[in-house]
Structure 1
Amino acid sequence: MTSESAALLEQARDAARTEAQATARRLVAVGDFMRLRERQHGDREEWVADPWDAISAELAAALRISRALASSYMRDAEILRDRLPKVGACLAAGDINYAMFNVIAHRTALITDENALAAVDAQLALRAPRWPSLTRGRLAMRVDAIVLRVDRDAIRRTNKEVKDRYLNVSVSMSGISEVYGNVFASTAVALDRRLDELAGTVCEADPRTKTQRRADALAALVAGDARMMCTCGDSACIETRGRMRNRNVVIHIVAEQASVDGTGATPGFMAGADELIPSEVVAELAKSATLQPLTVPVAAEPRYTPSTALADFVRSRDLTCRAPGCDQPAMHCDIDHTVPHADGGATHPSNLKCLCRKHHLLKTFWGWRDRQLADGTVIWTLPSGLTYVTSPGSAILFPALTVPTGESRSPSPTADDRCGDRTAMMPTRRRTRAQQRSQRITAERNLNRNDRLVRLRAHTYARAGSDDEPPPF
């Protein structure tokens, strides 16, 4: 029995080492891919959709991850290659895991002197493999102790009270979320009073309890309304007049008519939500929502900008950005012509799709190519030559929205180099990504230095005054 358990533990340990080694190989490959693309693209750091965006989007599609996670891999690849090569070698050997590498990378990010960084890298590579059982907090303290010896202004400091302030919104069950956190006392008092005020703006016949009205008052609060919507059901209720005016927040939910009527079981989809909205909740929300029926367009429109009805259909069909690896809600996306309108592409559902602004720029300026089918399926060919297929988000939930809408009769796109003559149209940044990073590091180092000098002066003054001043009595 002992030999069997030892063998299983050995398998787990070998798997962990192999996982760390595979992670290092992935980061090396990411770093090599970054250098390849940088050589190919040249200097475009001032573009809004800069080389970092183009590379992270390609990685996200290939690895089936988000662009944010792809960006974190890219940062780690740079650190492994340029900043902490010896610590990176420990990861490649499986002597430390990825979590340890991330902590070390974060705690050393403010070191700007190359000699100091090399010294820290060497010491950490020697010591970190002997710290396998440390928690993240204790590991951070060990790393800070080494950083402190070579660069006192490179310690990552945070104000605990500011750091602990937060407000979270998390799903507790389908259609219901929890809102909780720590905020300034003044903010909490103001919020508490405002919820009470809004909860009291309905008539006495409203069937909800005060607790329920306070919860529902958040909807009026975020919409900037002066009163809540009364649910007493009396059309003559004075509290229902002029309600929900001047709203500045709009929440879109796509649902079948039967679910809205309370007779169906198909859940609804809310932009940005992590879960579907149960049909019972859809029916409840429909009582106080603005309902907009969807129709399936069949004819092309004569203008570049689609009508509201056509745009609503495309957004409801797609639900999210249609680029591979992106889940940006369609309500926050551009409506893109697959075959450009200037090249004869029709303003027709079979030639329209949702693209977030970043992927829209990548398609326009970075050589992403796409072909769209009549049911909304999009076939992408990226600069690497790899092909990806994305289906409309409603394909499973609302299949009626993905019924082929007919051919748009758009001409075949001509082969052009969109990274050439059109570059003058690309929006530019005020500061490059590297300049922004340098500014953040310099600002944090200056805060550390000022804080250190203030504490040093206070300590010196206290010691100097202890022998000369009489006791306070």
Structure 2
Amino acid sequence: MSITRLDKNRPDAGELEDTTAAELIARVRDARATADRAEVDLLRLAVAWAHSHPLVPGDASWHAPAASGDEDGSPSDTDDVEDLEWFGIPDVAWDAPAAFAAANAMTTTAGKAFLRDALILRHRLPGVFACVVSHQVPVWRARRIAQAVIGKPADVAAYVDTELARTAHAVGTVTLDRVLDQAMTFLYPEQREEEQLEALDARYARLSERSLNHTGVAEMALRAEWADLKDFDKALSLVAAALKRDGNTEPLDVRRAMAIGVLADPARALALINGEEPPAPTREVVAYVHLTEEAVRGLDPLARDEHGRTWLEATFRAWCLRTDRHVTVRPVIDLNDSHPGCEGYTPSESLRERVILRNPTCVFPHCARPSRACDLDHLIPWLEGGPTTEANLAPLCRHHHRLKTHAGWRYQSLAPGTFLWHEPHGQWLITAPTGTVDIT
């Protein structure tokens, strides 16, 4: 048996410098078992937290009442998507997920999902839940099963639970899909057939924001009527050919991709195809670009947008040189300058821009919702004399704004863009553009 020892000069050696390979593997196994036990404890705590925070009658809930549904145990046809996610499990107070999520270093949305999955396992999949608490099934695999029965009738959940309880530790997505399909086909054959037909007939046009890279290139997927797609394909070819006649030397596939932008302006596309003088551009792209002093001087090739994504500075330069875009250069906003604030309750457009640019997301712990989709909250309430100034304004998404206003969450500014939060159960957290730090 070979013995592997760590290099004592490596910075990660430390106390493990004399550990053999076999000992390292043993410690890895111990660490894995400890982590698995902690995940089970967290799941049980989630159930306990949800049970201890029931929905108070008359309070606004963030999911549907558990009593909704038909007498046969099926969810009601009138339930919306969020209602279906919580079908068949106990009601939970609308403000309960936030504290749980903060304690677990999660976004509020992720905390809601964890509570939902824990309750589904506890109340709808008791066999799988028993395997989890006895450490036979890892929590991540059990949550996958729980998510598969979201919104499904009670008898379908019971079928899945019976079929998978003994083998849940080894169930993958293929097996899970097969068992779920068996349950729906056996118990609801007509509904299953309708769902399969609807899936085959599904149509969409989806732009993938995650595919966007530093050069400004992204992906879009289309699924539509064949005749429409065929006509669109012909239009791409026509514009691509017109671009070539106009002197564009890019390969055909690149010109077809460029044709998508041309077709977004029908009048301009028609003029290009007919060889006529194109009309003045009507499309406008608004982008907030953060450049270093070196980038302004041409020494730094990178730039950043207000969401923190890194781009090639040449990408923005190329966009500005395009003739099919209307380019407006707005005044530079220097966040080091002071703003006088506003007299009334509503911030001016310039003040709102400064607050948003300084705080790119909701300033609630772990929240990543873009600030442009948020409310601007007065840290010191307006009715209590709080001014409408940059120092007294911060973006909060609507749910977290409600938590601050109605559920006892409090925060204060420590520095521009940095906030200290205190929640009703004693947690203290600091948020900044770089993330959230728990100082409890």
Q: Same fold (TM over 0.5)?
A: yes
* Matched letter for residue 215 of structure 1: A
Which residues in structure 2 correspond to 1:320-399 (within 5 Å)?
320-392=361-433
* Matched letter for residue 277 of structure 1: W
Give 1:31 deviation, angstroms.
2.0
Alpha-carbon distance change, 259 to 221 in structure 1, aligned in 2, over 3 angstroms: farther
Alignment match, 2:289:
254
Which residues in structure 2 correspond to 1:391-470 (within 5 Å)?
391-392=432-433
Alignment match, 1:277:
311
* Matched letter for residue 279 of structure 1: E
Alignment match, 1:65:
106
Gaps of 5+ in 1: 231-236, 395-473
1:34 lines up with 2:50 in the alignment: yes
Alpha-carbon distance change, 120 to 142 in structure 1, aligned in 2, over 3 angstroms: closer
CA contact (8 A) 2:163 2:179 kept: no
Structure 1 window deviating more from structure 2 (196-205 vs 374-383): it is 196-205
1:141 lines up with 2:175 in the alignment: no
Equivalent residue in structure 2 for 1:25, among 41, 59, 81: 41
Give 1:390 deviation, angstroms.
1.4
CA contact (8 A) 2:341 2:347 kept: no
Distance 2:204 2:2 in 1: 49
TM-score by length of 2: 0.69
Alignment match, 1:124:
164
Distance 1:104 1:154 in 2: 21
Alignment match, 1:101:
142
Alignment match, 2:343:
302
Distance 1:202 1:327 in 2: 43
Percentage of matched positions with identical amino acids: 25
CA contact (8 A) 2:371 2:395 kept: yes
CA contact (8 A) 2:292 2:300 kept: no
Distance 2:99 2:246 in 1: 58
1:265 lines up with 2:300 in the alignment: yes
Alpha-carbon distance change, 226 to 123 in structure 1, aligned in 2, over 3 angstroms: same
Equivalent residue in structure 1 for 2:127, among 70, 86, 90: 86
TM-score by length of 1: 0.65
How many pairs align?
376
Give 1:349 deviation, angstroms.
0.9
Distance 1:367 1:197 in 2: 61
1:174 lines up with 2:214 in the alignment: yes
CA contact (8 A) 2:295 2:301 kept: no
Distance 1:386 1:227 in 2: 57
Q: Name the Cα RMSD after superposition.
A: 4.3
Give 1:30 deviation, angstroms.
1.6
Give 1:242 deviation, angstroms.
3.2
CA contact (8 A) 1:21 1:91 kept: no
Give 1:302 deviation, angstroms.
1.0
Equivalent residue in structure 2 for 1:291, among 329, 348, 354: 329
Distance 1:218 1:54 in 2: 45
SS in 1 for 2:424: coil
Gaps of 5+ in 2: 4-19, 65-90, 436-440
Give the helix-richer structure, 1 or 2. Answer: 1
SS in 1 for 2:95: helix
Distance 2:61 2:355 in 1: 32
Distance 1:165 1:137 in 2: 25
- More RCO (CA 8 Å, sep 6+): 1
Distance 1:99 1:138 in 2: 16
Distance 1:35 1:320 in 2: 31
Distance 1:260 1:290 in 2: 20
Give 1:124 deviation, angstroms.
3.4
